[in-house]
Structure 1
Amino acid sequence: MTTPPPECPAHASGAAGVRRLYDPEAEADPMGVYDKLRAEHGAVAPVLLHDDLPAWLVLGYRENLEVLRTPSRFSSDSRRWSVFQRGELKPEHPLAPTISWQPLVVFADGEDQKRLRGAVSRGMGRFNRHGIRRHVTRVSNQLIDEFAAAGNADLVPQFAEQLPLLVMTNLLGLPEEEGPRLAEACRDLMKGTETSGASYVHILESLTRLVAEKHTDSGHDLASWLIDDAAGFSDDEVIQHLRLVLVAANETTANLIAGMVKLVLTDPRFRGNLSGGHMTLPDGLEQVLWDEPPLWVMPARYATGPMELGGQRIEEGDMLLMGLAAGNTDPAIRPDLATPMHGNRSHLAFGGGPHECPGQDIGRAIAETGIDVLLARLPDLRLTAEPDDLARIPAWTSHHLAELPVEFTPRRPREGEDTGVSARPAPREVIPQPLPQAEPQPSAATVPQPAATSMPPVRPPRRSLWSALTSWLRR
């Protein structure tokens, strides 16, 4: 690699128009900051990260796709970052645990990326959608049974945050009885509590034990399929990719469920279209993925050489951040934000190119089925707080709901169920294979869409998602 160039003057602290993504304004009103950056710089804007480290935030829809789909020009290998090469990334920096290179598919390029991605994709592709949906239905009912008789609940911690984890522990191959404890550990870790370190150890020990057991007791689960895959994964590669899948599936799917339920509870027209059969839940989920993607900013790509992008001069080793939420509201492709996007899958929520999320169909199945069960069991759900007052988790990578307090007519649990029993996933069924291939996404043509909602005031209820993710990845 060539000697990295000095810092770009456009990124200098105090330079005209440069903004810090981690300051209170950016975390409280990210869409407002994206609009200002777009007005000042166009489709690609200079920004500063913690300790004023420089990066480019890609705001344009087409520019995001160009970066995501061209790995020869925009590498995923963080060792190419000029800041890293100059020795300016301190070990204690909050970005270090997440940005520092690891032997994972998300950091890989070329043949190595194909090998790792191929194994993960083949494993995810062997799950049967109908089997997953049956399992999600059972777990959803069990979770609802725990609060149905009370007539009130907070659907973020009591439903949205639990459902994906309880389902994914089953799909990964973990025993039924470990699901609730592992789900609790994952939630604790993501919240960044004082016990998150112990939770991380529990998760890693559980996955290490799982991989060891699957060498002698193989099953119809992702752990077994990664071990047996022709890619020849080492045990450590299997463990780390199971960890990656668990984190990605939980965080993105929990946020998708919360966002979709909020939309149903706060938009009478939307709920009317659902109940009247004019729109399906899958259509509505795509609307949420356009308006509030699970990650608003996705790190990171690194320029493999000097180039121009969106009118900006990009130097070799520069970091580019994918502005997924900004790209989804790019006026160049969505001049009228009031036009619905029901069913349109050409959003950026799952990334794109060779690193596009391989588990997006599983995430959709969990969210669609779980919400369908929730609305069927509790059809008179009512939000008990003003939508603009709902607490969110502010961070420069995301802006997600921390609460959804609701009330409803109390209902008895299903026959034979006991509200005092903690939710347990149903015993793991043998999930047949293979899955049908997902339909190709629509082309990235000019697209209109619904009005962007103004961001509500933020009350940081707990440590930021980014800080929690760095704790998760710290070895």
Structure 2
Amino acid sequence: MTPESPYPAGTSTDPVPPPGCPAHDRGPGGLQRLYGADADHLGELYERLREEHGSVAPVLLHDDVPIWAVLGLTENLQMVRTPAVFTRDSRVWTPLREGMVKPDHPLMPHIAWQPICSHAEGDEHLRLRAAVQGAMTTIDHRSIRRLIGRYTQLLVNEFCEQGRAELVSQYSEHLPMAVMCELLGMPEEYNDRITEAARDALKGTETAIASNEYVMGCLTRLTARRRARSEDDFTSHLVNHPAGLNDDEVAQHLRVVLYAAYETTANLLANALRMVLTEPGFRAQLNGGQMTVPEAIEQSLWDEPPFSTVFAYFAKQDTELGGQRIRKGDGLLYAPAPGNVDPRVRPDLNANMQGNRSHLAFGGGPHECPGQDIGRAIADVGVDQLLTRLSDIQLDCDEDELRWRASIASRHLVELPVRFDPKPKQDVTLMPSPALVPPQRTDRLPGTMTGPAPAAPQPVAPRPEPVAPAAPEPAPGPQGIWPRLRRWWLGR
């Protein structure tokens, strides 16, 4: 007999567990909360839930709103690949329809139905997704890798002379946002505020709604500008696609693309760098050519997926999943973090998963992430070129001193302090040097070396004329890096 739906009819009368008990943070019906005391240890909580309930477990969101957490890899894939049974349209969600979810709920930016392809079905889904994919196809991936390389050079130039850096706040949080603002067509909007707002909007904090409104303001203004005057950027192609998206649809899809690309890549980049800095065998394989940076990225996507869970799928009819009875209107969390460590799929978590793309990091089914290659490119180039510029980089603290911040949506490093011998700045228009990790791919930027790392840097092929060394850059002025970058882009 399968268990009943977790939705409580009233408040539980069970006795309150003593402080320190694993059940202490349980709510109505004895269900485990995914917020509060256990929020910083969700990985451990998911494993307890797996032991107690199996691959699908009843849990509570903020304000004790009930939902299912899908913990098994197979069950997650079954859910996302069965659109006849499960939908992304939250308007069918029972707690929302019954008023349990208030307008100021911290997860409302994710809960509320929006006119976006990931919430649509049937012909409407095909229309909206075709517009997003069509705009994606206009992005030249060789050009984007050059763009990523330039921003990488600029960011590293800001701290390379100091011999120390904090890679989360100075690098991994900024590189994806800088690249995405450029791709969307709003480089002038890139600053610390939009970076912080995008991350905050995804955390489910008390300020998430205000942060989301700030980002939407930027994207709404961008949509209006491109409706009035098109340029060669993602937003213009989305506006002008034959699918005929209106301004609200365009702005909402820009938000989805920006959030997904930013949060995914910021976490992925930080996690990959942490693995390189803390696992000697991992770095040795990179230096020795036994592993490529893209393979290292896939390993990171297995071990630390950028999104722990994705809100959410909803049952369109009574069904069964993972041995649990799911009723029409029930909500289910798509959960890459526990799914990727499903013991039925990965009995040995130390097993090499390099190059294996069957993880859950980018979703699946009709709503699989259409921009995952952009995220991979940012992480690939970001890791590769940082290691090239700072070949002697080392962690500047004990590994057990690293701190994490977790929410329902994601788990990310708070800081990643590093040290290295001070290095001079480099011309952002040139490839970084010296090389540390020998590239193994054929789609590198022009001028990248291939093959085993030589004892000393050598050019790939002799050039007809020597290249004059770049003039040293002046010391940073009070205006900061991003005004200088804008002048460089404009050729001033």
Query: TM-score, normalised to structure 1's length?
Result: 0.83
Q: 3-state SS of the aligned residue for 2:481?
A: coil
Partner of 2:199: 190
**Aligned AA (1:417):** E
Q: Which moved more, 1:420-429 or 1:107-116?
A: 420-429
Partner of 1:453: none
Pairwise CA distance, 1:153:
0.8
CA deviations on 1:52-109 (whole Å, 9 max, x unpaired) are 2111110111000001111110110001001112122122222334202122222212
Partner of 1:349: 361
CA deviations on 1:270-309 (whole Å, 9 max, x unpaired) are 0000010000000000000000001111110010111111
Please give the residue correspondences for 1:138-217 in structure 2 after superposition, counting only pairs within 5 Å: 138-174=150-186, 176=187, 178-181=188-191, 184-191=193-200, 203-217=215-229
Q: 3-state SS of the aligned residue for 2:190?
A: helix
Does 1:294 find its partner at 2:306? yes
**Distance in 2 separating the partners of 1:73 and 1:197:** 30
Please give the residue correspondences for 1:36-435 in structure 2 after superposition, counting only pairs within 5 Å: 36-174=48-186, 176=187, 178-181=188-191, 184-191=193-200, 203-414=215-426, 415=470, 416-420=472-476, 421-423=480-482, 424=485, 427=489
Q: 3-state SS of the aligned residue for 1:147?
A: coil
Change (3 A) 1:149 1:313: same
**Aligned AA (2:85):** R
**Aligned AA (2:275):** L
Matched residues, number: 421
Consecutive unaligned residues in structure 1, runs of 5 or more: 430-475
Q: 3-state SS of the aligned residue for 2:58?
A: strand
CA deviations on 1:247-281 (whole Å, 9 max, x unpaired) are 21111100000000000000000000001000000
Aligned-pair identity in percent equals 48
Pairwise CA distance, 1:242:
1.2
Q: Which moved more, 1:74-83 or 1:111-120?
A: 111-120
**Distance in 1 separating the partners of 2:197 and 2:72:** 35
Does 1:23 find its partner at 2:85? no
Q: 3-state SS of the aligned residue for 2:382?
A: helix
Consecutive unaligned residues in structure 2, runs of 5 or more: 13-25, 427-469
Residues 109, 209 of structure 2: 8 Å contact kept:
no
**Distance in 1 separating the partners of 2:254 and 2:190:** 17
**Aligned AA (1:23):** G
Change (3 A) 1:299 1:216: closer
Residues 393, 420 of structure 2: 8 Å contact kept:
yes
Change (3 A) 1:306 1:316: same
Pairwise CA distance, 1:111:
1.6
Pairwise CA distance, 1:185:
2.3
**Aligned AA (1:180):** Y
**Distance in 1 separating the partners of 2:214 and 2:291:** 42
Residues 6, 58 of structure 2: 8 Å contact kept:
no
Q: CA RMSD in A?
A: 2.5
Partner of 2:437: none
Larger relative contact order (C-alpha < 8 A, sep ≥ 6)?
1
**Distance in 2 separating the partners of 1:124 and 1:295:** 22
Residues 170, 179 of structure 1: 8 Å contact kept:
no
CA deviations on 1:156-192 (whole Å, 9 max, x unpaired) are 1111011111111111122x4x0533x5423245347
Change (3 A) 1:188 1:79: closer
Residues 315, 327 of structure 2: 8 Å contact kept:
yes
**Distance in 1 separating the partners of 2:275 and 2:293:** 11
**Aligned AA (2:404):** R
CA deviations on 1:299-335 (whole Å, 9 max, x unpaired) are 1001011111101111000000112111101111112
Pairwise CA distance, 1:388:
2.3
**Distance in 1 separating the partners of 2:359 and 2:296:** 13
Residues 75, 301 of structure 1: 8 Å contact kept:
yes
After superposing on structure 2, the runs of 4+ consecutive aligned residues of structure 1 that deviate more than 6 Å are: 192-199
Change (3 A) 1:258 1:149: same
Partner of 1:7: 7
